[in-house]
Amino acid sequence: MKSFSKVIDHQLTISKFLIGEEVTLADIIIGSFLNVHFVMRFEESFRNSVPHLSAWFSALSVSEQFAKVYGEIKLCKQERLPKVKKEEKKVE
């Protein structure tokens, strides 16, 4: 996921949004996909390594289109990974 983010970061050196200077469906789709990562996984140190992506997500997250669905976004302070339950082996 982080390598994908670096590819998007590079693309955003060309324009403010993925396909130009305004929010498009591409931004909404990729932003929706990355939202959970910005909230749960991308700590400040990683966000600093992808400055264009971070600026893009900040701009996108306050856009009317995005904010209507996700509300106020609180960025990750400490990475939170899902807890995986270990299945108990059944003894027969």
pLDDT in tens, 53-65: 999 999 999 888 8
pLDDT band at 48 (very low <50, low <70, confident <90, very high): very high
- Kindly state the tokens that stand for 64: 């009317």
pLDDT band at 78 (very low <50, low <70, confident <90, very high): confident
- Kindly state the tokens that stand for 91: 């003894």
Residue ranges per structural domain of the chain: 2-70
Question: Cα separation of 87 and 64, whole Å?
Answer: 43
From the list 89, 76, 86, the residue with the least C-alpha distance to 34 is 76
CB 21, CB 65: distance < 8 Å: no
Question: Cα separation of 73 and 84, whole Å?
Answer: 25
Q: 47 pLDDT exceeds 70?
A: yes
**Topology (CATH) of 2-70:** Glutathione S-transferase Yfyf (Class Pi); Chain A, domain 2 (1.20.1050)
- 0.75 cut: is pTM over it? yes
